[in-house]
Amino acid sequence: MAAPSALVLRCEECGDVPHRVLRGKVGGKADLVFEGVVKCTKCGRVRAVVTREPRPIEVPVVVSWLGASERTTMEFAPDEVVAVGEELELGEGRLLVTAVEAGSARVPSAAAKDVATIWAKRVDQVRVKFSVNKGNRTVAHDVVATPDEEFEVGEIVDLGKDRALVHHIRTKHRTLREGRVRADEIVRMYGRVVRERTSR
């Protein structure tokens, strides 16, 4: 296993701060043992260290997104606590823990070594519901956006084959007939299909 580029270690001068790894190696069977030379990023002190920490374990994670669930795994230190409401990084995305299963029960939190399954939903992207008038019928669409992306009344939204003009936006507290609002505050957008004019 390759040595890390940095470790958070206790420096006698500065306390717990990141240290740059100058050279070293990682070994060990039950535990991960790092032996090497590190430099404190705050005061510049260089010293040889040996650190030992439990080998990470893989915990099953069920991720919900757009009405589907996907199974994956994430690595945790055995004693690391996983709690409902906590946000986790998974690859490029962010997850919100919605349930923790330990043994055969759902619990508010548990050490990773006791967790059977983590249930989570993606929070780096949201689904915005959009009702679009197409002549005499209304068609439901889903627009995928980042939570802080803003939509504006009067804006034209690309829906693949169609483009639609937003004529009002409903949030939990009000209906906007003008202005803009973040995607994660929108309950539903309403609009109509825009016919593209083609020049002959």
Q: How confident is the model at residue 1 (pLDDT cuts 50, 70, 90)?
A: low
Cα Dmax for the chain? 78
Going by pLDDT thresholds of 50, 70 and 90, the confidence category of residue 183 is very high
**Do residues 46 and 28 make contact, with C-beta atoms less than 8 angstroms apart?**
no
pLDDT recorded at residue 56: 86
What tokens appear for 38 in the block? 């590190």
Q: Where are the beta strands (DSSP E) in the chain?
A: 6-11, 15-27, 31-40, 46-54, 57-65, 68-76, 81-83, 87-90, 93-102, 105-107, 109-111, 115-122, 126-134, 137-145, 150-152, 156-158, 163-171, 175-176, 180-182, 186-193
- Residue 155 confidence class, pLDDT cut points 50, 70, 90: very high
- pTM for this predicted structure: 0.60
Tokens of 44: 């510049």
Query: Residue 104: its pLDDT value, please?
Result: 86
Q: What is the mean pLDDT of the chain?
A: 89
As a whole number of angstroms, the distance between CA 186 and CA 170 comes to: 6
User: 124 vs 54, 58, 82, CA distance in Å?
Assistant: 30, 23, 19
Residue type for position 194? V
Closest CA to 57 of 27, 83, 40, 82: 82
pLDDT of residue 152: 94
Is pLDDT of 196 > 80?
Answer: no
Question: pLDDT tens digit string along 83-131?
Answer: 999 999 888 788 999 999 998 899 999 999 999 999 999 888 888 999 9
Please tell me the predicted confidence (pLDDT) of residue 74: 93
Instruction: Say what the pLDDT of residue 102 is.
Output: 93
Task: Name every residue whose Cβ is closer than 8 Å to that of residue 137 and which is 6 or more positions away in sequence.
Answer: none
The pLDDT tens digits of the residues spanning 6-61 come to: 888 888 888 888 899 999 888 877 788 889 999 999 999 999 999 888 888 899 99
Note whether 169 and 186 are within 8 A (CB): yes
